[in-house]
Structure formats: C-alpha cells, structure tokens
C-alpha cells in the first residue's frame, strides 16, 4: 500500500505489527470493533467548544447555500418530467466501501469513509448501477432507475461545495447488436434532459460526444436535433465519470459555459453482473447548481 509522506511517518511510529494488523490481519468485524473504541474515546474527550470549532472549520459539514424551498420545487419538476419507464429509488446515504474507487475511478481519499466498511455516496449513479445490477441478476430484462440524493465527497481547492443534491438516472439493458441498445438508451435519457434544460434554464443545451463510429452513424440516421451537437473524436474527455462510446454534458451557455451535469455509457454493470453483453447508461445533474442558474435567470 502506498501512502502520503505524512502517513508514512505515522506508520513508522506505529510499527510493522500494528500496520499489518490494521491493513490485513484483522477481520472486518474486528477492525470495526477497534475503530468503534477509538471513536468512543475521541468523542468522550471533546467539549462543546471543540464541536462548534469543527462545525465552523470543516467544509464537509457546511450547509448547502441553495435555498431548500427552491431545491424542493425544482426536484419536483424533475420527477414530474421523468419518463414512466423509470422506477423511483430512495437510496441509502451509504454505499459499499470501494464503490467510488472501483466504479468512478475516484481515489479513496476523495470519498468519506465510515468505520463500518461503508462510504458516503459520492455519486448516486454508482449506487443506481449497483441496484440495477442486482435487479438484472435477478432476472429483469431491462432496468431503468431514477433518484435524487445528496452526493458527498472530500472537498478540494477547486470545489467549494463538499456536498450537493443530484438527480440521477441509470439504465441497464442487454446488447441488441449494432449499437441499437445504446441508441435507444440515449434517446430515452436525452429526451428527458432536453425537456429539463429547456424548461428550467435559458440557453441550456445538451452537448453530445460520440466516439463510436457505428453509433454516430445510427444517431445521424435517426436525425439529430437542433440542441444536440454530435462530435466524433477518438479521445475521451475528463468528465465526472470515465465514459465510453458516447457521453453528453448538460451545459448553460453564457460568458463562460457552466456544466450542470453529464452522462454516458459505463462498464459498471458488466463487471457487477459478470455479463459483457450488458449495456449501462447513467446521467445526472446537480440540483443545487440548477437552482443557482434558475435563480440567476430570474433576476
């Protein structure tokens, strides 16, 4: 295991025996038991002054700046626009340890890990893919899921908010050959996001990027819409998730374009169901960011 320079110094102080026990030697239950003791001891030593100091200084604890009434109203509009194909899901705020790293390519230090072998959801599309995989393995031919959930992650200097409400979709279906499944799933998601962007923010558009030539030809044969930009290119883009074949961004044009969300094809359900023929499309938007843009447009 590689760590930072700071963690290397701490491991040296603890010694190799403690390091091996914590990293590999203890069972999951034993590790949780030890960490629970640590938490109890640390919590007991705190004072109210310590707690309010942490509340003031820890960015992961700061409330969102979005007005909850506006968030609720826009979230309701999103739910009203969701196609009937999608089943609503209320996710737990937690997901399995390693979800963000294995599905989203996030470093474990970028998610909030708990003592119980879980982590806070950093992206609800990850959890939707897990649930879609469970349903697919249980015999469902096609699965379409929708949710709104708060995504939480360790903040970095380029991102002031440590958490924001997201509205997310996930579709999982078997390969129909000739990229037909991909085209159908794209139509389903893009029709929804076109309606959302058109109804909530001026100058909102969907920018579609296609890397697969066959899929690009199929989409062009179906007829591209005015608010879609089809781009053929070999390079993947550094968006929120490592997408393949095709992806899209939800953009508000202005002096500087603002990206509110994105979506694309991911291999997650292939790995989770052990079925290379499975196709999965995920997409999501930050409701908090959508509220901000909606408020700016109203001024």
Q: 229-255 pLDDT, tens per residue?
A: 666 555 555 566 678 888 999 999 888
Question: What is residue 251's predicted lDDT score, i.e. its pLDDT?
Answer: 92
- Full domain range(s) for residue 142: 59-298
Exposed/middle/buried for 20, CB within 10 Å: 0-12, 13-18, 19+?
A: exposed
Report the phi/psi class of residue 250: left, alpha or beta, with left for phi > 0 and alpha for psi in -120 to 50: beta
Domain total of the chain:
2
For residues 32 and 75, membership in a common domain is answered with: no
**pLDDT over threshold 80, residue 70:** yes
Lowest mean pLDDT among 46-60, 206-220, 266-280: 206-220
**Residue 219, token pair as written in the block:** 């989409």
The pLDDT of residue 143 is above 70 = yes
Alpha helices in the chain (DSSP H): 5-14, 16-20, 28-44, 48-57, 68-81, 99-104, 124-137, 180-200, 213-222, 268-273, 287-298
Based on the fold, state whether residues 14 and 126 are members of the same structural domain. Answer: no
**What is residue 69's predicted lDDT score, i.e. its pLDDT?**
94
Residue 275 has pLDDT above 90, yes or no: yes
In this structure, is the dihedral angle defined by the CA atoms of residues 235, 239, 240 and 244, taken in order, positive or negative?
negative
Residues 119 and 65 in one domain: yes
The pLDDT score that the predictor gives to residue 232 is 58
Structural domain contains residue 52? no
Distances (CA, A) of 199 to 120, 193, 205: 31, 10, 11
- Does 88 share its domain with 153? yes
Parallel/antiparallel/unpaired status of strands 204-210 and 163-174: unpaired
- Its pTM stands at 0.88
Residue 210 has pLDDT above 80, yes or no: yes
Asked if residue 134 and residue 282 are part of one domain, the reply reads yes
To the nearest whole number, what is the mean pLDDT of the chain? 87
Q: What is the mean pLDDT of residues 9-32?
A: 85
Residues 111 and 229 sit within 8 Å (Cβ to Cβ): no
Task: Confirm whether 54 is domain-assigned.
Answer: no
| Listed residue (246, 226, 146) closest to 192, CA to CA | 146
Q: Report if residue 101 sits inside a domain.
A: yes
Are both 177 and 246 inside the same structural domain?
yes
- What is the predicted pLDDT for the residue at 226? 55
pLDDT at residue number 190: 93
Task: Report if residue 53 sits inside a domain.
Answer: no
pLDDT score at 56 = 94
């Amino acid at each position: 295991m590689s760590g930072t320079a700071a963690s290397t110094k701490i491991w040296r102080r603890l010694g190799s025996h403690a390091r091996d026990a914590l990293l590999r030697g203890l069972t999951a239950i034993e590790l949780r038991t030890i960490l629970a003791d640590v938490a109890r001891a640390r919590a007991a030593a705190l004072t109210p002054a310590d707690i309010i100091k942490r509340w003031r200084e820890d960015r992961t604890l700061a409330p969102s700046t979005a007005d909850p009434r506006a968030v609720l109203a826009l979230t309701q509009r999103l739910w009203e626009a969701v196609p009937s194909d999608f089943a609503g899901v209320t996710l737990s705020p937690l997901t399995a340890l390693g979800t963000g790293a294995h599905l989203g390519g996030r470093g474990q230090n970028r998610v909030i890990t708990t003592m119980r072998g879980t982590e806070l959801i950093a992206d609800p599309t990850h959890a939707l893919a897990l649930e879609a995989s469970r349903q697919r393995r249980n015999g469902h031919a096609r699965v379409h899921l929708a949710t709104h959930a708060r995504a939480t992650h360790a903040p970095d200097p380029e991102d002031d908010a440590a958490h924001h409400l997201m509205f997310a979709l996930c579709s999982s279906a078997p390969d129909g050959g000739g990229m037909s499944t991909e085209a159908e799933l794209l139509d389903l998601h893009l029709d929804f996001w076109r309606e959302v962007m058109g109804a909530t923010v001026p100058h909102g558009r969907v920018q579609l990027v296609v890397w697969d030539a066959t899929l690009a030809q199929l989409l062009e044969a179906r007829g591209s819409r005015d608010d879609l930009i089809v781009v053929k290119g070999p390079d993947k883009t550094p968006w929120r998730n490592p997408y393949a074949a095709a992806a899209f961004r939800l953009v508000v044009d202005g002096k500087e374009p603002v990206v509110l969300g994105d979506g694309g094809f991911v291999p997650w359900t292939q790995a989770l169901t052990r079925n290379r023929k499975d196709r999965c499309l995920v997409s999501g938007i930050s409701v908090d960011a959508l509220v901000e843009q909606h408020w700016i447009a109203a001024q």
